[in-house]
Amino acid sequence: MPSDLKLPTKPCHNCKKRRWKCDRSLPVCQKCIHAGSECLGYGKLLIWNQGVARRGKMMGKSYEDLAVTKKESHGQASPPRARSTRNSDHLGTSSSSSESSHGSPPELLDREEADATIERTLIDPLVQDLNAQSRYYLYHFATQLCVDMVVYDGPGQNPIRDIIPHTSQSPVLLQVILANAAFHIHNIAGVSLRPSVYQPDRQPDLTSYYASVSRFGGPFTTSYHDALVAKQAALSLMAQSVTSVDNSNIDIILVSILLFVNYELIESGKEGKWRVHMDGAQKLINMLGTATFYQEPMSRLRRCVLSDFLVFFVLGMTLNFSANCGKLLPNSIDYEPILKYAETNNYLSCPAPLLSIMLQSFDLPDAREVTAGEARIVIQEQVKALLQQALAFNPTDWALTLELASPLENLEKRIRIASAHRAAVCIYIARVLPSSNPLIDPTSGNAIISLTGLADEVVEHVSQLRPGDQVFKSICWPLFLAGAESMKPAQRVQILKFLDALWSEMYWGYIRTVQSVLEIIWKFSDKAVADKDTDICWVDEVKRMGTDMLIA
């Protein structure tokens, strides 16, 4: 936390008025945001008077009243104020600087009247050239998506929010931010039209969305179109940016690519588009290891970006099951600090020791495709060593040494999600073995893990978390692996309900994709059981599907 950052010493004006316990977050109180209220801040509250004057004949009267009075005194009828028409150009184009705070253009008056009646809107210079939609999308990114992308969104602890001012100098960053926010709004706006079959009576709380968007003249019905247009603009700008990479822009370009990956997660996380962005990022990341771009010490922004890419790189292999996937970081960059930063700040909250074990597992070939008996034994011993290493990981001991993102964090919640990740990592590693392998076959007498037991363990730990917990956004990846192994109908429904709750918290499209893939896996598993085929597993069905999905 920066040493010059001064935290508020008093509650925000909203919380003070409503007698709420304010969390004193910066730049605005998170309690106000979650309640759908506009936070009025902590400083001196300025209330703009609605009239021309606070006393005298004009007290309580507006500039429009003044204009009408003058026109009527000249025998002129006052024409009705025309409804404004919003700029339909693509995101990022300039809107009229004369647009009033009510969204309507000021009427044309003579010079004398103009001196008294021109209304000026106070707009942050950062967004003064953006239209109403773009300003709202930028606001939505800052107040919601930035929160989703870290474990704890404390004051001065969110490098993603800190890059927003760079949008004034980086058109590609601006456009990809707008694309992320616009598609996220599209997901939110469509919620009420797509009730969950597992929670048919659930009515999503969209109060916060409608309260905030109304300030910008919304709701907007063009968010899907806006997202696609902004994404296309960002792709074109990115193609230009990567031709002139230097020390001054490489980190911002990497952030922009990271946001392209996030966009794919918000959209659906499938079809492999995210991998194209990961491949492009990997080429730039390799440059960071050269003398020209090397940083020591590494900036917080670069450490944040590399940790997020590393987590996506690791979890992106969940449905790949291919060996020799290469390395993300060059040899000159130490993995350990990146992994440590990821476990503290990345929203998936996966402990560094488990991420390290996952990286080691990428060197394992798929034993189901190895026919030679001796080679299978070698793979089995390697898998056994990694499983024992994962089982030896103690979430409680780990949490006691963890550098928390905030002193307000709940350590027990961190232990729960770490335990769920440990069980999921064991499932992932074990599934390079055939189902008949003695290490995982419950009838062998030599099994060191129970796959169904690990699935139960994940569900048990996740059931102790609640929407609103900082680590609740971390449950999807372990739940997917638990669901893939689940053979109990009641447990499957429970897993889908957890994912529904996560969807209602985040509205990221990959969550719906995970649900649909799980349902396909369950049909496959049930058929295998009915056919009494015990030597196949859900991994075979995933390979047949040919999916290249990113599960975060």
Average pLDDT over residues 206-230: 79
Percent of the chain with pLDDT over 90: 37
Say what the pLDDT of residue 173 is.
96
Q: How far apart are CA 533 and CA 540, in angstroms?
A: 13
The predicted structure's pLDDT at residue 6: 58
Residue pLDDT, tens place only, 480-514: 999 999 999 999 999 999 999 999 889 999 999 99
> What is the reported pLDDT for 126?
65
How far is Cα of residue 542 from the mean position of the Cα atoms in its chain? 25
- Closest by CA to 121, choosing from 154, 147, 98, 146, is 98
**Has residue 124 got a pLDDT over 80?**
no
- 127-131: average pLDDT: 77
What does the mean pLDDT of the chain come to? 78
Q: pLDDT grade, residue 88 (50/70/90)?
A: very low
Q: What angle is formed at CA 366 by the lines to CA 363 and CA 369, rounded to 5 degrees?
A: 145
Q: How far is CA 505 from CA 204, 272, 430, in A?
A: 10, 25, 31
- 449: alpha, beta or left, given left = phi > 0 and alpha = psi -120 to 50? beta
Identity of the amino acid at 154: G
Which DSSP category does 59 fall into?
Answer: B
Confidence of residue 27 (pLDDT cuts 50, 70, 90): low
pLDDT band, very low/low/confident/very high, at 21 (cuts 50, 70, 90): confident
Considering 69-83, 97-111, 131-145, 214-228, the range whose residues carry the highest mean pLDDT is 131-145
Let me know if 331 is exposed, middle or buried by CB neighbors in 10 A (0-12, 13-18, 19+): exposed
Q: What is the pLDDT of residue 78?
A: 38
Q: Which of 39-43, 75-79, 412-416 has the lowest mean pLDDT?
A: 75-79
Look at 545 and 430; give whichever has higher pLDDT.
430
Considering only 2-11, 185-194, 218-227, 328-337, which range has the smallest mean pLDDT? 2-11
Residue 164, pLDDT score: 92
Ranked by mean pLDDT, which of 65-79, 317-331, 341-355 comes out on top? 341-355
Q: What angle do CA 146, 149, 150 make, to 5 degrees?
A: 100
Domain boundaries defined on the chain = 132-545
For the stretch 243-261, pLDDT in tens is 999 988 999 999 999 999 9
Condensed to tens digits (0 to 9), the pLDDT of residues 136-168 reads: 999 999 988 999 999 888 777 889 999 999 998
The predicted pLDDT at position 295 comes to 87
pLDDT of amino acid 257:
96
In the prediction, which pLDDT does 5 show? 44
**Upstream peptide bond of 219 is cis (omega within 30 degrees of 0):** yes
Token readout for 341 is 């930063």
pLDDT for position 388:
95
> pLDDT band at 94, cuts 50/70/90?
very low
Going by pLDDT thresholds of 50, 70 and 90, the confidence category of residue 325 is: low
Report the distance separating Cα 191 and Cα 196, nearest Å. Answer: 9
Helix 250-267 and helix 509-530, axial crossing angle in degrees, nearest 10: 50
Reply yes or no on whether the pLDDT at 61 is more than 90. Answer: no
- Whether 285 and 254 have beta carbons less than 8 Å apart is answered as yes
CA 111 → CA 115, 207, 255, 276, 512, distances in Å?
6, 43, 49, 58, 58
Least confident range from 286-295, 304-313, 432-441: namely 432-441
SS3 212: helix
Query: Looking at per-residue confidence, does 369 or 71 come out higher?
Result: 369
What pairs with residue 346 in β-bridges?
150
**pLDDT, tens digit (0-9, with 9 covering 90-100), for 410-429:** 899 999 999 999 999 999 99
pLDDT of residue 48: 41
Q: How many CB atoms lie within 10 A of CB 200?
A: 7
**Is pLDDT above 90 for 93?**
no
* Euclidean distance between CA atoms 405 and 414, whole angstroms: 11
User: Is the pLDDT confidence value at 540 over 60?
Assistant: yes
d(CA 242, CA 240): 6
228-239: pLDDT as tens digits: 999 999 999 999
